[in-house]
Structure 1
Amino acid sequence: MLNKIGIIRQGILGGFRNKTAPVLGAYWRSLDVIKGLPRKSNKPPTEDLLNQRARFGLITSFLSWISPLINVGYKALSGVESR
């Protein structure tokens, strides 16, 4: 399997895309962004974490039903267009 490599577009100080060593380069909302790779934890989730995940899932499922309405309502407030 061949891994993608990062591509530096504007020299050493410019942004890059894809994975390079332990970081990811991306272009997000007209910004060059560098993110670290997530690390997998071997610890079991705590009760508080499981509760938080359940709450987040409930809110996400509710908002997915009304997302077209949210998108129309907040479109004028967005200063930056995403690609």
Structure 2
Amino acid sequence: MTRYYFDLREDGVLAPDEEGLEFDSLEAVKEEASRSLLDLVRDQVLERGFRDAAVEVRDGADRVLKVAVLWTMKRLDS
């Protein structure tokens, strides 16, 4: 099994994962990254409104995956 680190990025500020989690497949890593991002976005919306959010996954020193949300809000004139 490989240890992966799920670093959180909010508004350009990176919060590194110091502990990591072990997974035996990249598919499981993708699922965990997606869940982590959903939790991050949900917390942002409930606390202070949505901003920029991403989860950057690495296995030691190498980045292997990035999951991000692009949120746009635009007024539509009638």
Using structure 1 for the length normalisation, give the TM-score.
0.29
> Which structure features the higher share of strand residues?
2
Larger Rg: 1
The TM-score normalised by the length of structure 2 is: 0.31
Structure number with the bigger relative contact order (C-alpha 8 A, sep ≥ 6) is 2
